[in-house]
Structure 1
Amino acid sequence: MRKAIMAMLAATVTLSAALPAIAQVNLRQLNQERRTDAGDRSGKLTRAESARLKAQQRSIDRLEARQRAGHGGRLTPADKRMIHDRQAEADRAITHQKHDSQRGRNHLKL
């Protein structure tokens, strides 16, 4: 009985340690998608800029899926670092595109 309880406790600790990393990656991805959509709606992004930024996010999604598939559904520290670097690059691209002089057709001067 004691071994079964210890095994369940170990599984719970392992799962709870993995969830924050997964949530952090997914939360950042969601936030960047929202920023791109907001820029599209406000007119701060052109259609082409928005399409490129969304393609960049899809590329990061595919990278994450490939890494998870290759490691049994988990991300290694190197995988997390790679995704983090790609997300940081996407973050800079969103900021740059939203603040350049090009405007989309729904320009609202926010």
Structure 2
Amino acid sequence: MSIALQSVLFLTLISASFSAQSSAHASEQREHRQQSRVAQGVANGELTRRETVRLWHGQRLVDAKQRRARADGVVTARERIWIHQEQNQQSRRIARQKHDDQRR
């Protein structure tokens, strides 16, 4: 195998590794932002105790799905889409609960 081909293969593997890591990092950042939104809702009274418990439970379910996807060491494109959809749904739940005019 030529050195040029080896270099190309090596760079391809490195870029794939970085894209997988950046995807995981983006998912973790999004999770952190959603947790902050819930905490903010609790602090300013937009969320009731029951709503908060439900939102935390929903986030734990998303976390469990992420752990399942990562368990084998590879997060496939289908798993990434699945996690992204779950995070979208959780984000919509947070927004609905924060703006439903229920107060603590």
TM bucket, shorter chain? 0.7 to 0.9
**Structure 1 residues 29-70: Cα deviation after superposition (integer angstroms, max 9, x where no partner):** 11101100110111000011011001100000001101111x
Name the % identity. 31
**Structure 1 residues 11-30: Cα deviation after superposition (integer angstroms, max 9, x where no partner):** 42232121121111111111
- Does residue 87 of structure 2 align to residue 98 of structure 1? no
Instruction: Give RMSD over aligned pairs.
Output: 1.9
CA distance in 2, matches of 1:51, 1:77: 31
TM-score (norm 1): 0.81
Q: 4+ runs of 1 displaced by more than 2 Å?
A: 1-14
Shift of 1:4: 7.9
Q: Which blocks of at least 5 consecutive residues in structure 1 are unaligned?
A: 105-110
CA distance in 2, matches of 1:17, 1:28: 16
TM-score (norm 2): 0.85
Q: Which blocks of at least 5 consecutive residues in structure 2 are unaligned?
A: none
